[in-house]
Amino acid sequence: MKRLTRPIKKPPRLLISAVIIFFTFFCGGKKVKQEDNFTKLRELMVKEQIERRGVKDKRVLSVMRQVPRHRFVPEELQDEAYNDYPLPIGEGQTISQPYIVAIMTELLGLRGDERVLEIGTGSGYQAAILAHLCKEVYTIEIIEKLANAAKERLAKMGYKNIFVKWGDGFEGWSEYAPFDAIIITCAIPKVPPPLLEQLKDGGKICAPYEKTSGVQILALFEKKGTKIDTNYIDYVRFVPMRGKIEEEK
């Protein structure tokens, strides 16, 4: 028995073009509109949450307007990315609220030619902010999954001056020391000695310091020879530093 076959007709070119235009206009247009909305939310975030609270460094304010914070949080939380609170990023960790990121960055007093060490990469957002303000950022994350995700995310976003390492931040990153500044994005009971050794004379460390059990305060430590000057800024709440520092308590 012969099977009759008919050639499959190709859709008219006009129809194909119409389909392409439909998806480009509606899907692409929706994405553009969403990005425009995020841009407006970033501007509002800087104005209401950061400038109003006293952050004055124009370079910091400019970068906070530029870096898309929504790309550093889980997709289901992107609509909350520019709100005034931290957000979970998995593995029991969080991305700090925008104001805290801004004030910690401002306290370092970066000019553009520095080499900065970050302890606690998390999502990579703080590292991205720093990357616009200094020469190089070396960032260490103790949770392998977060370190790998941040490294991939930052690479996709085109950052060439951020170097991510999976490891214990307590030990620092001696191969690239000394550092002009160090930022610690997890609470510490004391500054790890290796970090002080890897900090340049005159350099600064900004970190949430746990003065007493359960009470944290943002502190700025400045190295002056063998002396460390300490200034306390404001009360904060961060996840605790993990790893070797837990043995030091």
CATH number for domain 86-247, candidates 3.10.20.520, 3.40.50.150, 2.170.140.10, 3.90.1200.10: 3.40.50.150
User: Which residues in the chain land under pLDDT 70?
Assistant: 1-31, 249
Under 8 Å between Cβ of 28 and 35: no
Burial class from Cβ neighbours inside 10 Å (0-12, 13-18, 19+) for residue 11 reads exposed
Q: Identify the helix (H) or strand (E) that includes residue 126.
A: helix 125-131
Q: Please give the DSSP secondary-structure letter assigned to residue 212.
A: E
Cβ neighbors of 24 (< 8 A, separation 6 or more) are none
According to the model, what pLDDT value does residue 19 have? 47
Under 8 Å between Cβ of 127 and 137: yes
Under 8 Å between Cβ of 187 and 241: yes
Q: For Cα atoms 230, 175, 89, give the angle at the middle one, nearest 5 degrees.
A: 65
**Sheet strands (E) in 185-241:** 199-212, 215-224, 227-236
According to the model, what pLDDT value does residue 44 have? 97
- Give the pairing of strands 93-95 and 87-90: antiparallel
**Which residues sit opposite 115 in a β-bridge?**
136
* pTM to 2 decimal places: 0.86
**243-247, Cβ contacts within 8 angstroms, sequence gap of 24 or more:** 243/142, 243/168, 243/169, 243/170, 244/168, 244/170, 244/171, 244/192, 245/170, 245/188, 245/189, 245/192
Q: Which of 17, 96, 123, 174 is catalytic?
A: 96
Which tokens hold the place of 69? 């914070």
According to the model, what pLDDT value does residue 247 have? 82
Domain residue ranges in the chain: 86-247
Known catalytic residue at 96:
yes
Nearest CA among 49, 125, 50 for reference residue 93: 125
According to the model, what pLDDT value does residue 23 have? 46
According to the model, what pLDDT value does residue 56 have? 97
Under 8 Å between Cβ of 200 and 180: yes
According to the model, what pLDDT value does residue 186 have? 95
Nearest CA among 216, 221, 211, 212 for reference residue 238: 216
